[in-house]
Structure 1
Amino acid sequence: MAATAGPVSPPSPCIRRVNVAPFISCSFVYFSPERTTRRAALRLCAAVEGGVKDHVLGATSSAKPRLPRLVGMGSKLVGCGSAVPKFNISNDDLAQIVETSDEWISVRTGIRNRRVLSGDENLNGLALKAASGALEMSSVLADDVDLLILCTSTPDDLFGGGGQIQRDLGCKNAWTFDITAACSGFLIGLITATRFIKGGGYHNILVVGADALSRHVDWTDRGTCILFGDAAGAVLVQACNADDDGLLGFDLHSDGHGQRYLYATANEAEIPDAANTNGAAVFPPRKASYSCLQMNGKEVFRFAVRCVPQSIENALKESGLTSSSIDWLLLHQANQRIIDAVATRLQIPSEKVISNLANYGNTSAASIPLALDEAVRGGRVKPRDVIATSGFGAGLTWGSAVVRWG
């Protein structure tokens, strides 16, 4: 597989050899009945209306016996779901607050509308609805989910939101973690899920992509505020016979040298008498917040139209397929000009390209599963269809996968 160059520097050599010690020593620790009882009684007290309710931590972790883990299984996509906020912002609406127009935005990006969180909506609510849709389509019970991966760079909680979604879905037998990789997040989460199935023997994994970049956009900057919207999308990845593996090939890359082209860094609050500190340490530490999203659009565009086709070609090569043999091209919905350029490079006709960018804008980690869900529910993507998909964005990170639906 040919290596794909990053936006500004060649990729580093990948060292794959791992030295494993020939012997592993194990020591056993004895826990007395008293200590075991004390540990089991550990409680989390949560304030609720009408008093305090006790919840035993981990009480449901073994509520249902797990199926035997079978390593080496394949994986397939069996369900999807999505959710978007109610509040719509059109290009004409944006023209009321920044110097722009519907024509200016649509010609340069292909975007006409975007949805943003408002009122009592939050990101976890969107993610919960999308995940519920994926479970319903796949006819999988929440109890049967082994793992939930939340792909987001804008969680409601600084420490992540996967646990709250797991709780609200009722996935008592699952564990969860978050992936932060911006617009590449869902693609990375999808491949991660297949590795847990193949190498860890997991059966059902929910992969949720959800972002609310509207919270981090400078709405007076017409270069960025026209691009982004909020949404959530999800898929259910299920173990299957290795011969029916739905992940046909994949390819992943990152290059931190390109971080300066797309970022939202943490900024420390200013100190009123900073001039009197003489460089001395300040205590307590200053409170920090994230800056608005900053992007060099020209460099990100150049990076995407160069690296994304190469990555898809690598994934196709691993799968033993050519671009002419796929049914659909589904890219991260960043800019219609990027989507068109990649399709042209790969010689994929427009009727095989999935795009809903005009209605939602760039929804970051949600964009691929959102577009997939609409295409499946709309009858375009059918069982056994082969999809070449690619995510790319901040980091800089990018990657591709060739997957079979259903």
Structure 2
Amino acid sequence: MADLFESSTNTSQAPAAGIETRPLADRLRPKALGEVIGQEQVLGPDAPLGVMLASGSLSSLIFWGPPGVGKTTIARLLADETDLNFVQISAIFSGVPELRKVFEAAKHRRANGQGTLLFVDEIHRFNKAQQDGFLPHMEDGTILLVGATTENPSFELNAAVLSRAQVLILERLSLADLERLAQRAEQELGKALPLDGPAREALLEMADGDGRALLNLIEQIMAWTVKGKLDPKGLSTRLMRRAAQYDKSGDAHYNLISALHKSVRGSDPDAALYWFARMLEGGEDPRYLARRITRMAVEDIGLADPQAQSICLQSWETYERLGSPEGELALAQALVYLALAPKSNAAYVAYKGAVSAARKTGSAPPPKHILNAPTSLMKEQGYGSGYAYDHDAEDGFSGQNYFPDGMARPALYAPVERGFERDLKKRLDYFAKLRTKRAGEAPGDA
């Protein structure tokens, strides 16, 4: 759901031609919280802001969401609802001197009985010291802080700031929300968009959940001289699609690679290809994707299909030889193979169990019977004594103990009944029976 603003009820009449020069997004900015499109999850009667306003107790807030979802608008309307003076700064253009001036002005207002809602856009761009500077003024009531960020607050904001503010997630606009916004724009401008149904849908998709972007696109379209209605091809010829929002070092990077990995693990090649394409379209380095795809083969397919890892490495090598854009097809083929391959994380789990056991047992030495004895002294100490050479044993299996003396034998590797691991499980079960048999024959070796 989520962005911008819905036109207020008194803006349905079109302004006189040539008089209104303000951008459409500014003209449609709502004048009350009830006019905001979307964001019911924070603005509804039982939602956080609805409850706060009803109780007359508004706390400091951090709005986390993509561009164009109404963060600034909601902050401004909150100030109106609570009779606080609205002050807006941007962390991109403000430093310590500007902050000091803001805090001093807020103190003067407070002394005169007026509170201050300080809206800080891109708050994550302030460094730790600058963020710490807000704390005393939040605690003594000089300001009510409303920060806005497109980045995950858990990683970008100080714990001290987060402990004094409630994080509210604002969501991108749904297509239904964007359609409502388009209708409000048509009411404001006094005419309909010159688009047929499919072209109108294409326009909404171009906005990519950003209401402000949609209104900017609508302004461009309304300025055209068009006979009849444009179809999607006519629209795309005149209007460039917005670049997808993607920060290779930010939240989108980690969210999309998580979606890609889980799609492969979930055996869904279509979803895997979709997220793969999303990341490439956003400018992701294909080599990073090649490395992560290979990791998927090791972590989620494992020995259920030993060939999967080789296919990933071959696709990686193919990419290096072909380059972009042809090489991406090899990576896509590897993704499809992984998605449809039998899945097992048994080796992965076994390795983690082995690491845990190794840490717990410290420096316990191997049992002496499996140690080499190149010197007479070592032989006198029992090194190699009693070692059973497996090739000489019945079935080529001695069943001896290879863990430190006194350590209970752990069961680390548990292959699944899928793919090649089904065969490995049969072998494991077979050796377990032989080990029990050998233990009965020679208890000291088991």
TM-score class, shorter: under 0.3
Tell me: higher relative CO, structure 1 or 2? Use CA pairs within 8 A at least 6 residues apart.
1
Q: State the TM-score, normalized to the length of structure 2.
A: 0.23
Q: State the TM-score, normalized to the length of structure 1.
A: 0.24
Larger % of strand: which? Answer: 1
Which protein shows a greater Rg?
2
Larger % of helix: which? Answer: 2
